[in-house]
Amino acid sequence: MGIVSPAYSLKTYRDALDKGSVSSRQLIEDCLKAALDPSGEGPRAFMRLFESTARAAAEAADYLPVTSDLPLRGLPISIKDLFDVEGHTTCAGSVVLKGAPPAACDAAVVTRLKDAGAVLVGRTNMTEFAFSGLGLNPHYGTPRAPYAREEGRIPGGSSSGAAVSVSDGMAVAAIGSDTGGSIRIPAALCGLTGFKPTARRVPRDGVLPLSNSLDSIGPIAPTVACCALIDEVLSGEKHSLLDADAKSLHLGVVQGYVLDGLEPHVAASFAAALTALSRAGVRLSEVKFDALDEIPKSYRNGGIPAAESYVWHRELIERDADRYDPRVLARIVRGRDISEAEYAELLKERRNIIAASESAFAKVDAWIMPTVPRVAPLVAALEISDEAYFDANAAMLRNPSIFNFLDGCAISIPCHKPGEAPVGLMLAARSGSDTRLLQIASAVEGLLAEAGCVIQGRERFD
């Protein structure tokens, strides 16, 4: 293992940089070495590496004084291949946009990362046009999850390369997008932490859209505190992460379909996490509400994502349909049959369900549930079977998509034991409650660490 490891938090790297025990140039060289290793996942995890500009930015960061007010000074961070970078074409994991004009300017979040001192490693691979929770990409290959890598398991999507870039030491954190779980799913399957903020808090200028109503931008990183730090940069809002007192916490264990079909390992890990939290003094209550059952109905015929994505893709499909991933295309074209009146009705239904959910949110500090119901399936099994692919995709998106629909904020943290297949524990709260959710997640993270679950980023940097 090199200098860069998912066992280290961003604070650990920042402290090491401040002390001079490591340089930004050393960090970026370590990341690039891992990314360029032909025997590793780098060739599948990255669409493009920014080798020369990353080295130059790292050297510049090393000349800055320690007192510089740059929260990400010298830290290597990867960005998903749907964020505009000046002078580069944004392909969104597709071959359809190859040859399109390069971006005239950076996306707003890219500008904020650079202004905070981050060193951009490169653009990470993803499900084509972000329209799947699995991470498969037939055009550029599919990076493998770190657990049991020789078996070839999916990393989760759509921010597949983002998660693997962190798990494999090719970046200390990654920026992804989340329309139905595309940050939290890969975080869960790769043993990392992934934060989906309230969508309106982070600007989406210069980001290739999937669904304007549901898209959000956030980090995949080792710990809750890492995600909070990056969210401060992306959103421009400050967080105070003083751990909440466990005995003051009241978490709602959501009942209903979110607990259906849990694989034994996921069910056991979730149960163990609840037991650990209860023993630590956290109050747990079952949460049931009728509006939850209405959400799957609103995804009929593809729902809002299909309707909004088809509008964006219509001309490209007319010209280049045969160049799309057929499975992605099948989901987009469902929007062709959704009329304007039906679309307006879908938006109205969403507003009504959000309003109906407020009373359930108000009864507890946050909701808790498994991030996804399964461990990462094998890539090969999904590549050869449409039935297996769409079944797994629906399963992975089922729980996390609830909070995109409800316009809430949500975070996935690891809750498995060392050496076991990664399992994510999802905490979620109402729209705009991001700071409070991060405080709760930090407290839960600490309690699970004490109980022996895998919590990244708490080891000392040597």
Q: Please confirm, yes or no, whether 158 is among the known catalytic residues.
A: yes
CA distance 25 to 306: 43
Name the catalytic one among 24, 94, 158, 165: 158
Q: Could you give the CA distance from residue 448 to residue 243 in angstroms, rounded to a whole number?
A: 13
182 is catalytic: yes
For residue 419, give the amino acid letter. Answer: G
Whether 80 is catalytic is yes
Q: At what angle are helices 303-320 and 340-362 packed, to 10 degrees?
A: 140
> If you compute the radius of gyration of the chain from its CA atoms, what whole number of angstroms results?
21
Distance, CA of 161 to chain centre: 11
DSSP helix/strand/coil, 458: strand
5, 24, 78, 80: which one is catalytic?
A: 80
Identity at 121, one-letter amino acid code: V
Enter the tokens of residue 331.
């989901």
- DSSP summary character for residue 138: T
Nearest to 373 by CA among 195, 181, 193, 216: 181
DSSP string, 37-68: -TTSSHHHHEEEE-HHHHHHHHHHHHHS-TT-
**Cα first-last separation, the chain:** 12
Q: Are 156 and 145 in contact (CB under 8 A)?
A: yes
Q: What is the largest CA-CA distance in the chain?
A: 61
Q: Angle at Cα 284 formed by Cα 278 and Cα 287, nearest 5°?
A: 155
Upper half-sphere CA count for residue 423 (Cβ side, 13 Å) = 26
325 touches 139 (CB < 8 A): yes
Catalytic entry in 9, 182, 309, 357: 182
Collapse the DSSP code of 346 into the 3-class scheme (helix H, G, I; strand E, B; otherwise coil) and give the result.
helix
- Which two three-digit tokens encode residue 11? 């604070």
Residue pair 156/112 in contact (Cβ under 8 Å)? The answer is no
Task: List, by residue number, the catalytic residues.
Answer: 80, 158, 182
